[in-house]
């Protein structure tokens, strides 16, 4: 028996019911520099990992379109999917109403029209917690003034 997948969640948007497994694509890469030495040998240096780029395509009912629309103004958000989990910033979103209606959801929810959605995100490093609840900017300014 296969292990059940993690229910996909991006911020407050949860992919549920029959649409709980959106397509998740992840692009990973590193910063690489190629150099030629004085003896004309080629040297390749790895400067470290670039931020992951996450692309999520799925279906949501109309009742979740507000949570979807709020993603673009939410800043940094938590992402949980079967393929990638972490902290990311929403780069772009798009939603197209599907020429369809979900009769199963119509029993649970009056808004059973469906939307095909795409969410593009960029991985961000989690900021360590700071003393006294100050943000990174506040800490940096305080340290500069001292």
- pLDDT tens for residues 70-107? 999 878 999 999 999 999 999 999 999 987 767 666 65
Residue 121 has pLDDT above 50, yes or no: yes
DSSP per-residue codes, 15-54:
--GGG---EEEEE--EEEEEEE-TTS-EEEEEEEEPPPEE
Residue 142 has pLDDT above 50, yes or no: no
Contacts of residue 43, Cβ cutoff 8 Å, sequence gap at least 6 = 34, 35, 36, 37
- What are the residue ranges spanned by the domains of the chain? 9-145
CATH class of domain segment(s) 9-145:
mainly beta
Q: Please tell me the pTM assigned to this model.
A: 0.72
């Amino acid at each position: 028996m296969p292990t059940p997948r993690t229910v996909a969640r991006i911020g407050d948007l949860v992919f549920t019911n029959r649409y709980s497994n959106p397509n998740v694509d992840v692009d990973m890469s590193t910063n690489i520099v190629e150099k030629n030495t004085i003896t004309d040998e080629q040297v390749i240096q790895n400067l470290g990992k670039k931020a992951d780029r996450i692309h999520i395509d799925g279906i949501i009912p109309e009742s979740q379109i507000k949570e979807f629309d709020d993603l673009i103004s939410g800043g940094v958000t938590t992402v949980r999917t079967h393929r990638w989990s972490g902290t990311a910033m929403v780069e772009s979103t798009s939603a197209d109403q599907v020429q369809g209606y979900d009769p199963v959801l119509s029993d649970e929810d009056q808004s059973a029209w469906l939307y095909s959605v795409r969410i593009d995100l960029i991985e961000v490093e989690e900021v360590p917690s700071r003393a006294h609840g100050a943000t990174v900017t506040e800490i940096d300014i305080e340290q500069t003034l001292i």
